[in-house]
A and B are shown apart, each in its own frame.
Chain A
């Protein structure tokens, strides 16, 4: 934090008098000023000047891009050198539906792909155990290495980065590795991220995912990191997810603080297993929400980078500068989108995206305008990609590195957000670290409180949302687009294929692989994820792998906190 500066120190002799004059004019014109606070609860003043931020501590607090503390960006060239990866989340229908959509996105210029599985996959089930109407509405139904092969037909695995929305026990990566092996692509060439590997965030904030009790999930993530380090060295096995926290209600400062606390927990768990911190931290990535609170988000990202550099170096003892770099993917916030007047979401997404770009992200997903209603339709998905193309190609946002750096307001806000975030981390430390804080419900209670407070600000009109609590006149005349729903006949056929696949396998091999998995789960010297990969190669399905581990590790029930 910068120490307060005075006008005298700035050698601006006339400063105080002119400031007083402005203050008089301001008060005379505005009358009683309204109190403005951002989502993290910080009071926002109407004007910031060199008294708030003078640049005296430039080298300490900001420095240059690519050097600690990385406030201005983690690489020397940032977006002027290489723009962010355009990574649109995609997941719908059958593996064939996914394949068609992802090929279209590649043709439209997307530079990295992702895969969202069906909610049934998130819940750890195969499709033959799920009511048909629920299948494939929110993600792709992928239950085996064969399904993965169909999903990635014609996609150059090994040349294109792939993000798997793949919670513990990471069966989708196991299926991907099985497909790579079949195609003769060495695992060293596989790049991408286990995008949902942060079990802590699932347990606290995103109840889509968690399937295994906390201790088992803790064991598997460390096994997964260890396995990838050895066999899939260019894969990012951990993405620490602030997005879940913020979508569940955390303020931007809380989301950043909780995420950094989770990262500390993961790093400490890896070290406890005997790994060198500099072997694992360079492959840590982060994933955040970008809300429409524009400057607050920019400050959140700048402060997060600075704090992480300090934590990695001073607290975790990392010596490799790559360990200090705060690499993150970000997604425009779905909570800010409205089902009312859905085309308005295009403007919201563009605004959020610019905040993310100015915040210095490495990879981005822009939401489609109909995402408050259903999985994106083809047209809406195209507009979302085009939004990124326009911002990157037309708007000259990438010409200058950290273009808001040096703004009196943004630097002051970055300092203030830093203090807020550090207070959250200190609270989690006091609770015994992130694992304990989630186990006892401290984090869940924080999210619940903030979610309710945010909703009350919308109800009271303190927070304006166009089409929701103001400018609602058009709501009657705007027709919502029809939602995306998979073709029921194609889905029925897929379920039948899944059943036939299960019946036609070498059952001896399957039983052997499941048995090996169960034994690994009960033997601390074994790597559970290695057994998941072997099971995937032997034709074991997702539901069977999860079922086995649930039996061994227990099912994680959600903790209900008032």
Chain B
């Protein structure tokens, strides 16, 4: 399993819900890829079930969701679905427009980071890398290794 620990972080960059503005998700995907991570990028409008299936198949450490038009309101449903599928170790971050009033709703549901406008490239990369490392440790613990 040592090999797994040193392989690049695996990140699913996606959008759920109705909005398709993908300028932000494409830029962040490029940032993470250029930082050496394995990025799985999907088109917008994924269903929650599709994201869970991708997360399983691609064995991702982190799911990064871009929300610019209120799609963050159903992120708690996604986290519940990930848990139900046995993916509680997967870290979830949200980027885009999340009004301050609604941060608590997301962090309370288990979102590990919210990146709003003005978030710096390196801050995003560092946070995702740390979260990926944490996710791997958590998964090994779950497996009892």
- In the complex formed, the residue of A with least CB distance to B22 is A207
Interface size counted on chain A using CB atoms at 8 A: 42
Mask of A536-562 contacts with B, CB within 8 angstroms, 1/0: 000000000000000000000110100
Interface centre among B20, B71, B73 (most CB of A within 10 A): B20
Residues in B neighbouring A459, C-beta threshold 8 A: 120-121
Task: Evaluate whether A134 and B70 lie within 8 angstroms (CB atoms) in the complex, with A119-B19, A339-B97 already known.
Answer: yes
B36 near A: Cβ within 8 Å? no
Stretch at the interface among B39-47, B54-62, B83-91, B137-145: B39-47
CA distance A123 to B23 in the complex (A): 18
Residues in B neighbouring A560, C-beta threshold 8 A: 41, 43
A426 near B: Cβ within 8 Å? no
- Residues A133 and B73 in contact, CB atoms below 8 Å apart: yes
Residues facing A in B66-105 (CB within 8 A) are 69-71, 73-74, 77, 97, 99-102
- Residues A483 and B23 in contact, CB atoms below 8 Å apart: no
Task: Evaluate whether A119 and B26 lie within 8 angstroms (CB atoms) in the complex, with A372-B97, A480-B99, A483-B99 already known.
Answer: no
Instruction: Quote the shortest CB–CB distance from B105 to chain A (angstroms).
Output: 10
Mask of A325-353 contacts with B, CB within 8 angstroms, 1/0: 00000000001001110000000000000
- Residues B100 and A480 in contact, CB atoms below 8 Å apart: yes
CA distance A372 to B100 in the complex (A): 13
B21 near A: Cβ within 8 Å? yes
A-B CB pair tally, cutoff 8 Å: 93
- Interface residue SS majority, chain B: loop
- Residues A248 and B19 in contact, CB atoms below 8 Å apart: no
Interface size counted on chain B using CB atoms at 8 A: 30
A272 near B: Cβ within 8 Å? no
- Residues B44 and A558 in contact, CB atoms below 8 Å apart: yes
CA distance A391 to B74 in the complex (A): 41
B30 near A: Cβ within 8 Å? yes
- In the complex formed, the residue of A with least CB distance to B99 is A483
A504 near B: Cβ within 8 Å? no
Contact of B20 among A131, A207, A472, A479 (CB under 8 A): A207
Residues in A neighbouring B69, C-beta threshold 8 A: 119, 137-138
- In the complex formed, the residue of B with least CB distance to A120 is B18
Contacts A/B (CB < 8 Å), 26 sampled: A119-B17, A119-B19, A123-B45, A131-B17, A133-B74, A134-B18, A134-B73, A134-B74, A137-B70, A137-B73, A138-B18, A138-B19, A207-B43, A208-B21, A247-B21, A338-B117, A373-B97, A374-B70, A374-B97, A374-B99, A455-B27, A480-B100, A482-B99, A483-B99, A557-B43, A560-B43
List 18 additional contacts besides A131-B74, A206-B21, A558-B43; criterion CB under 8 Å.
Answer: A119-B17, A122-B18, A123-B18, A133-B74, A134-B17, A134-B71, A137-B73, A207-B44, A247-B23, A338-B117, A374-B99, A452-B26, A452-B27, A455-B27, A469-B118, A480-B99, A558-B20, A558-B44
